[in-house]
């Protein structure tokens, strides 16, 4: 190849030719240049073959540094890269691409292995959501809509250096050499479909899954677990959604691939996919707001049970822990009988959780993802009710409510414990007028008795009338007084409570 003067490189010379010329002039093999530029040998080979005709700016800069190009030659090198990028977008006119494909992908056997990317590639699977419903709605016109979708998407795949390997009805399988091309193609496809005017007002939406991995290329076909993983990722999404694997997201972060303009990757947590042995970390390519594209999507269609509920439970647990810390540490200052243990245990658990989140990135990412996906109002109300139940139960256990005597209904927080002084025996209550009831007036008396007693602590257990009045019950330390068993006088002025001989009690003196 001739030694072109700086800045006088003919426009017909491609970036691939210029890269090969400079590498040969420097006396470097592809492996040596790849090592210097911190790129893969496959990337150098792809660029020199012209398969990759849209090199990234940072890739061009790395190659220029590795080749030690002077400023003028570096400028010519970058100009050739820009020309190559522009040429790749205009290389196949949309009409020619559609007429060549005729709405269908070429047969797998007709694709030459030499034209397909090898090694680590990015797979794109896509299919039309609710295609059966569309078929019922459109009838014979569905064939025209399907052909329009295939034509529109086929043009987009070609424009972004994609290799369409299979189009069966409403399913698409495309392979890209680089993740940024696949991401750009997916974003463009969703935006194009959303902006398209479809017949009869129907909405055609496609779900897309992207995954980067290595697969065996043989006779125009990719074989391996990564292909199946990509298909499962696509099946988990919804119409208008682009689901991305962790492997692709890592490639973007590691090599600095640019995301399509106005988009970002949003983590969706780990999910179990069918026939995939390990849980897969999935993300969503969040697209700019556009009429026809949903702003929110249902939970992914994975083997996880109720991922939305899992996020809500995480938020409930975090909010409940914070509430119990506050209540458990402050309420004992007002209510001496309330134990400090609840607040201390909740605070300890909160500290352990914060330490685990600070030290372990997977735990932190899971908590942040679940917190972001949770329904905050629902979680807040549930946490408040849960905290209230814990506090009310604890108060009841530490000191039951006093419903007898001159004190108002509520809790006797001035209760002083007295050691037991009696065992068994009886307690007689006498008044100068007939006693109609010992219970609050809002409680209806039993029809078989003139009144019933609601006794504090041992004496305040509501009797189980369905089991009779003759014996002592485990939750009832006294016999229910009645005229028949001698516990209540005929005139109603005296009531005798016969206490279980096994029960100990104090007269409070």
pLDDT on residue 402: 41
Place 189 in a pLDDT band, splitting at 50, 70 and 90.
very high
Angle at the Cα of 61 from the Cα atoms of 58 and 66, rounded to 5 degrees:
125
Are 329 and 395 contacting, i.e. CB atoms less than 8 angstroms apart? no
Residue 139, pLDDT score: 84
Which of 24-28, 104-108, 411-415, 437-441 shows the lowest mean pLDDT across its residues? 104-108
User: Cβ-count burial of 7 within 10 angstroms (0-12 exposed, 13-18 middle, 19+ buried)?
Assistant: exposed
pLDDT, one tens digit per residue, over 204-224 is 899 999 999 988 888 778 888
Backbone angles phi, psi at 322, to 5 degrees: -65, -40
Q: How far is CA 390 from the centre of its chain?
A: 29
Give just the sign of the alpha carbon dihedral 482, 484, 488, 489. Answer: positive
pLDDT top residue among 103 and 343: 343
Backbone phi, then psi, for 469, in 5-degree steps?
A: -115, 5
The pLDDT, as a whole number, for residue 413 is: 46
Tokens 């061009």, residue?
Answer: 60
Q: What is the pLDDT of residue 457?
A: 39
Is 304 within 8 Å of 232 (Cβ atoms)?
Answer: no
Q: What is the dihedral of CA 331, 335, 341, 345, to 10 degrees?
A: -10
Question: Is residue 410 predicted with pLDDT exceeding 60?
Answer: no
What is residue 144's three-state secondary structure? Answer: helix
Look-up: residue for tokens 């001035």? 414
pLDDT band at 89 (very low <50, low <70, confident <90, very high): very low
| Residue 117 and residue 47 in contact, taking contact as beta carbons nearer than 8 Å | no
pLDDT, average across residues 13-31: 83
Helix (H, G, I), strand (E, B) or coil at 280: strand
pLDDT of residue 80: 79
Nearest to 374 by CA among 303, 318, 326: 318
Residues 120-130 have pLDDT tens digits of 899 999 999 88
- The average confidence (pLDDT) of the chain is 75
Q: What is the mean pLDDT of residues 225-239?
A: 91
> Do the Cβ atoms of 211 and 230 come closer than 8 Å?
yes
Choice among 77-81, 215-219, 369-373 with the minimum mean pLDDT:
369-373
Q: pLDDT value at position 455?
A: 39
| Residue pointed to by tokens 């139960």 | 393
More confident residue, 51 or 467: 51
Does the pLDDT value for residue 396 go beyond 70? yes
Quick: pLDDT tens for 238-290: 999 999 999 999 988 888 888 888 899 998 888 888 878 777 889 999 998 88
Which residues, 6+ apart, have CB-to-CB distance to 441 below 8 Å?
A: none
pLDDT reported for residue 10: 53
475 phi and psi angles, rounded to 5 deg = -100, 20
What are the b/e assignments for 341-370, b being 16+ CB within 10 Å? Answer: ebbeebbeeeeeeeeebeeeeeeeebbebb
Which is more confidently placed, 223 or 353?
223
Provide the pLDDT confidence category of residue 183 given band limits of 50, 70 and 90.
Answer: very high
pLDDT band of residue 364 (cuts 50, 70, 90) is: confident
Percent of the chain surpassing pLDDT 70: 73
Distance CA 120, CA 179 (A): 10
Q: 401: which 2 tokens?
A: 């409510």
Q: Which residue has the higher pLDDT, 16 or 452?
A: 16
Query: How far apart are the C-alpha atoms of 387 and 108, rounded to whole Å?
Result: 62
Tell me the backbone φ, ψ of residue 402, rounded to 5 degrees.
-95, 115
pLDDT on residue 282: 92
With tokens 């040998």, the residue in question is: 41
Residue 379: partners with Cβ closer than 8 Å, 6 or more residues away: 312, 315, 316, 319
φ, ψ for residue 447, nearest 5 deg:
-65, -25
Q: Confidence band (pLDDT; 50, 70, 90) for 401?
A: very low
Do the strands 171-176 and 120-128 form a parallel or antiparallel pair, or are they unpaired? Answer: antiparallel
Per-residue pLDDT averaged across 20-42, rounded? Answer: 84
């Amino acid at each position: 190849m001739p030694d072109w003067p700086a800045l006088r490189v003919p426009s017909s010379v491609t970036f691939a030719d210029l890269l090969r010329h400079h590498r040969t002039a420097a006396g470097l093999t592809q492996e040596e240049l790849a090592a210097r530029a911190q790129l893969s040998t496959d990337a150098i080979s792809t660029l020199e073959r012209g398969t990759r005709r849209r090199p990234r700016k940072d890739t061009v800069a790395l190659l220029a540094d590795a080749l030690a190009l002077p400023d003028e030659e570096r400028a010519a090198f970058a100009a050739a890269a820009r020309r190559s990028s522009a040429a790749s977008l205009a290389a196949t006119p949309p009409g020619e691409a559609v007429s060549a494909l005729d709405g269908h992908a070429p047969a797998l056997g007709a694709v030459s292995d030499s034209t397909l990317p090898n090694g680590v590639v990015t797979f794109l699977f896509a299919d039309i959501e609710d295609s059966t419903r569309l078929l019922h709605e459109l009838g014979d016109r569905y064939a025209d809509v399907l052909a329009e979708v295939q034509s529109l998407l086929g043009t987009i795949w070609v424009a972004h250096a994609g290799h369409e390997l299979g189009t069966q009805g409403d399913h698409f399988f495309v392979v890209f050499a680089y993740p940024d091309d696949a991401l750009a193609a997916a974003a463009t496809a969703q935006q194009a479909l959303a902006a398209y005017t479809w017949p009869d007002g129907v909405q055609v939406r496609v779900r897309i899954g992207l995954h980067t991995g290595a697969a065996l290329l043989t006779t125009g076909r990719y074989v391996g677990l990564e292909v199946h993983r990509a298909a499962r990722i696509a099946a988990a999404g919804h119409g208008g959604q682009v689901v991305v694997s962790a492997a692709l997201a890592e490639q973007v972060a590691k090599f600095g691939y640019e995301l399509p303009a106005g988009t970002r990757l949003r983590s969706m947590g780990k999910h179990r996919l069918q026939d995939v042995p390990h849980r897969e970390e999935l993300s969503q390519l969040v697209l700019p707001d556009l009429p026809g594209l949903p702003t929110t999507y249902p939970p992914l269609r994975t083997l996880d049970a109720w991922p939305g509920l899992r996020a809500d439970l995480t938020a409930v647990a975090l909010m409940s822990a914070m509430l119990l810390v506050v209540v458990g540490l402050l309420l004992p200052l007002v209510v001496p009988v309330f134990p400090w243990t609840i607040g201390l245990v909740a605070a300890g658990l909160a500290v352990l959780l914060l330490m685990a989140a600070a030290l372990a990135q997977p735990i932190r990412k899971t908590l942040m993802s679940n917190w972001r996906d949770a329904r905050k109002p629902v979680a807040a109300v549930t946490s408040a009710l849960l905290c209230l139940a814990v506090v009310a139960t604890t108060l009841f256990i530490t000191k039951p409510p006093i419903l007898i005597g001159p004190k108002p209904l509520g809790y006797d927080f001035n209760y002083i414990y007295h050691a037991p002084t009696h065992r068994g025996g009886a307690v007689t209550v006498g008044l100068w007028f007939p006693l109609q009831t010992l219970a609050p007036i809002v409680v209806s008396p039993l029809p078989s008795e003139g009144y019933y007693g609601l006794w504090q602590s041992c004496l305040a257990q509501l009797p189980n009338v369905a089991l009779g009045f003759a014996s002592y019950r485990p939750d009832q330390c006294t016999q229910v007084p009645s005229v028949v068993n001698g516990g209540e006088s005929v005139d109603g002025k005296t009531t005798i409570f016969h206490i279980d001989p096994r029960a100990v009690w104090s007269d409070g003196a």
